[in-house]
Amino acid sequence: MIPAPFAYARPTTVEEALQAIADGGEDVKVLAGGQSLIPVMRLRLAAPETLVDLTRVTELRGVREDGEMLVIGAMTTHADVLTDPLLAQYGQLIVQATETVADRQVRRRGTFGGALAHADPAGDLPAVALALDAEFVLAGPGGRRTVPAAEFFVDYLTTALEEGELLVEIRVPKLGEGWGVRYEKFNRVAQAWSIVAVAAAVRREGGRIAEARIGLTNMGPTPLRASATEAALVGVDVSMETVTAAAAQAAEGTSPSNDLNAQADYRQHLAQVLTRRALAAAAGL
């Protein structure tokens, strides 16, 4: 189908983008890579009055260091994430998850910030951002503010972005020496949304686990942390026995859906299995 008519703005700076959003009327949509928005517009499930295209806002692209943090521009494409040397060194969990996003063509157009702002619980990147305790920098009419990942994902396809605001960058801590990571994904066919996926980061000190961070994909209306499993791992010896015991608690506090791909109890089983696999790989077992 053909989208409904809309006004079109193509700013070149963040300030111009915010002004275009403010001037766009009651129903304004922001176009990043368009891999989620354009299909629903073609089906007329969305019919915005104004479309604000960010593809020429070059300041929103790229990855840089800021002390112990990596700063990823919201318009950085998935393809650029996969080839960035800073992410290769300090952000391997992001790289592993991005490698599973859709196909090569989508990764060339889709953006890191666009995928996070879309907030699909079956998407691969929200759970990674949550596991890494990422921070989201939002720009709006009143200036900029920073929202932690734990507060950014509010509900299904809903974030903390307020009217007139724009996601401009994502800040994630560097994971250096001592950290191991793994993203484990289970889907029905290649290049599909996750039925369940697990993002795991483990820091070892000698033969013990000092810290564990685990994000769950598609186990509720928002990405979730496997908090019980994380707590069970702190200070324990690195072994398959301890990892398996902790992973058995991965589904605690989750509320997965029933749909054509899987029932809730199957998703809970998958969460335990994938958490065990991800933790074993991240811990070097």
Sorted by where each begins, the domain ranges of the chain are 7-53, 59-173, 179-283
Q: Which CATH architecture does the domain made up of 179-283 adopt?
A: 2-Layer Sandwich (3.30)
Output the CA torsion sign for 66, 148, 218, 163.
Answer: negative
pLDDT in tens, 5-62: 999 999 999 999 999 999 998 899 999 999 999 999 899 989 999 999 999 999 999 9
Phi-psi region of 192 (alpha: psi -120 to 50; beta: other; left: phi over 0): beta
The tokens describing 272, both together, are 């335990």
DSSP H helices in 163-259: 227-233, 240-247
Query: pLDDT-based confidence at 191, cuts 50/70/90?
Result: low
For residue 253, give the nearest of 219, 276, 277 by alpha carbon: 219
CATH of 59-173, one of 3.40.50.2000, 1.10.3720.10, 3.30.465.10, 3.40.50.2300: 3.30.465.10
Give the β-pairing of 50-53 and 7-9: parallel
pLDDT score at 192:
78
Asked whether the beta carbons of 181 and 96 are under 8 A apart, the reply is yes
Please, is 85 exposed, middle or buried when counting C-beta atoms within 10 Å of its C-beta (0-12, 13-18, 19+)? exposed
Q: What letters, b where the CB count within 10 A reaches 16 and e where it falls short, cover 15-34?
A: eebbbbbeebeeebbbbbbb
- The model's pTM is 0.96
Instruction: Report the topology of domain 7-53.
Output: 3.30.43
Question: In the chain, what is the greatest distance between 2 CA atoms, to the nearest angstrom?
Answer: 62
pLDDT in tens, 265-278: 999 999 999 999 99
Mean pLDDT, residues 229-241 taken together: 97
